Amino acid sequence: MRDKKLQIKITEDGQVFAETIGIKGKDCLEYIEMLEQLLDAETIDSNYTEEYYQTEIQSVRQNKQFIKEGD
C-alpha cells in the first residue's frame, strides 16, 4: 500500500497548487477540502489525476475455523 500524500507548491505571488498522491477515488477531495479550510481559501480550478478514477481495493480476510467432530 502506498503512502497518502498531499504535495503543495506555493508560488512567489502566493498561489497555492496542491496534488494528492496515493489517494484513490473521491477521497482526494477530502484532503483538498481540509487544505482549503486551513488556508481559508477555495479551489479555483481542478484537474483530476488517474488515481481519481480508480477505486481503493480493500481486502477482507476471513478467519474460518473447521471443527472435526469425533466419532
Q: Look at residue 6 and give its three-state secondary structure.
A: strand
User: Please, which pLDDT band fits residue 10 given cuts at 50, 70 and 90?
Assistant: very high
This prediction has a pTM of: 0.62
pLDDT of residue 2: 66
* Cell numbers linked to 12: 512567489
Decide if 28 contacts 46 (C-beta within 8 A). no
Domain segments of the chain: what residues? 5-53
Residues ≥6 apart with Cβ < 8 Å to 3: 22
pLDDT of residue 19: 92
pLDDT digits (tens, 9 = 90+) for 27-65: 889 999 999 999 998 898 888 888 888 876 654 555 666
Residue given cell 484537474 in the structure block: 47
